[in-house]
Amino acid sequence: MGSPILILELGAIILGLGILGRLAALIQLSPIPLYLLAGLMFGVGGAAPLETSEEFISVGAEIGVILLLLLLGLEYSADELITNLRRNYPGGIVDFVVNAAPGAIVGIILGWPIPGILAMAGVTYATSSGIAAKLLTDLGRLGNRETPIVLSLLVFEDLTMAIYLPILTALLAGVGFLGGSLTVLIAVAAVSVALIVALKFGRAINKIIFTNSDELLLLGVFGIVLIIAGIAQQLQVSDAVGAFLVGIALSGKVAESARAVLTPLRDLFAAVFFVFFGLRTDPRDIPSVLLIALVLVLVTAATKIGVGAWSAGRAGIALPGRVRAGMMLVPRGEFNIVIAGLATTAGLNQIGPLAATYVMMMAVLGPLLARFAAPLFRAFGKIRDSVRGPAGSPD
């Protein structure tokens, strides 16, 4: 029999997450900031630190990362990835340069080691695909002209992460240049092989895996992704990347059915992951990084909006659509916390409070901007038109 305290703590945590999720839905915001706050409250230096369940939560958090990336991979086919990359890689390159730079500069100014600088660059670079995808659905913008541009930039980021995460993992592990180069080569090879297999043998793979039984499909896909993630980890490639590649390889009925049966499981363990990150962050360290986090929020919100607007402009989209595209790229979330979590686990504890504070701010600001950008834009247009008058000149 398990410890009664462990069962009670887990029950309280899961119930608490459910309440926080409902609260977030009522105020129409992502629940990620609330989950992080819950972790801060019950972690190191919090008001009521957990006693027995942290080890279980640690394992659950790792599963949460795997499921987050698996479900993200299921959103794209290999064909879509390649097509989007060909069309929109200039925007993706600009996105990487202008949004990774602020984090790297902060790391340099603070005197962090190279792994810390690289980790902070990743924290400021990646948009939360989960939050962005949910906003596109909630706001009814899946059919908008700018939406393919937003999705293309998100796909580019995801593929960049497939290369970036192994490099970061190698540096955090203290692997030398030769070992680090080998890790990168393995990561590139893994991505290439996954795409080739998905393109050439995707139908056969999906035919073998597919079953009308939700139970058997859940067990099969979940088991496969855990095995691939474990192998990836043994090869010093991120288990998250392995999960993402599995998602890309699955398509058609398998992907649709897998999304349906795995989404509740992902939501549970993803919430545990965000809580776990908060547990490892001492809230007493946050005041000292609050100003830096605020500066990063202002700078990177502006750079993301600029990149989205520029990319949409290249596709001939009008100004309102450009603004909407830019606003949709502002939220930060799962990838950013994954990166900070890797750095914190490797002993770079200084990045945790800054990343947690930054992500909480951006996870709140992003949905607010996305929701209210269009009404504000229309209001601005009415004011401008009233000032100019019907003939385009002042009354």
Q: Please provide the average confidence, as pLDDT, over all residues in the chain.
A: 79
pLDDT of residue 236: 58
Q: Cα(29)–Cα(339) distance, rounded to whole angstroms?
A: 23
Tokens of 195: 């795409």
Note whether 91 and 153 are within 8 A (CB).
Answer: yes
pLDDT at 2: 55
Distance CA 184, CA 220 (A): 29
Position 192 in a domain:
yes
Which pLDDT score is estimated for 393? 46
36 domain-assigned: yes
Residue 318: pLDDT band with limits 50, 70, 90: confident
Say which CATH number the domain at 135 has. 1.20.1530.20
Residue 147 lies in a domain: yes
Of 87-101, 116-130, 213-227, 375-389, least confident by mean pLDDT is 375-389
With beta carbons less than 8 A apart as the criterion, state whether 183 and 166 touch.
yes
Count of domains for the chain? 1
Q: How does pLDDT run across 256-292, given as a tens digit for each residue?
A: 888 888 888 888 887 887 787 777 777 777 888 999 9
Cβ–Cβ < 8 Å for 157, 94: no
Q: Are 204 and 198 in contact (CB under 8 A)?
A: no
Q: Is 135 exposed, middle or buried (0-12, 13-18, 19+ CB in 10 A)?
A: buried
CA 227/CA 97 separation, integer angstroms: 34
**Residue 6, token pair as written in the block:** 């462990």
Question: Is the pLDDT at 394 greater than 50, yes or no?
Answer: no
Winning range, highest mean pLDDT, from 83-87, 113-117, 356-360, 389-393: 113-117
Percent of the chain whose pLDDT exceeds 90: 14
- Determine the average pLDDT of the residues in 301-323: 90
CA 167 to chain CA mean position, Å: 18
DSSP letter assigned to residue 304: H
Whether 391 maps to a domain, the answer reads no
Give the pLDDT band of residue 105 (cuts 50, 70, 90). Answer: very high
Mean per-residue pLDDT for 226-251?
76
Answer whether residue 173 is part of any domain.
yes
By percentage, how much of the chain surpasses pLDDT 70? 80
Summarize pLDDT for 145-199 with one digit per residue, the tens.
Answer: 888 888 788 878 877 877 787 778 777 777 655 666 676 677 677 667 766 776 6
Q: 322-369: per-residue pLDDT in tens?
A: 888 999 899 887 778 778 877 887 778 788 889 888 988 888 788 888
User: What is d(CA 243, CA 284) in angstroms, rounded to the nearest whole number?
Assistant: 34
Residue 10 lies in a domain: yes
- CA-to-CA distance for 235 and 166, rounded, in angstroms? 10
CA distances from 207 to 76, 78, 215, 221 (A): 18, 17, 17, 13
Locate 60 and state its tokens. 């659950």
Residue 16 is which amino acid?
G
Residue 90 is assigned to a structural domain of this protein: yes
Please check whether residue 381 lies inside any domain of the structure.
no
Domain range for 185 is 4-375
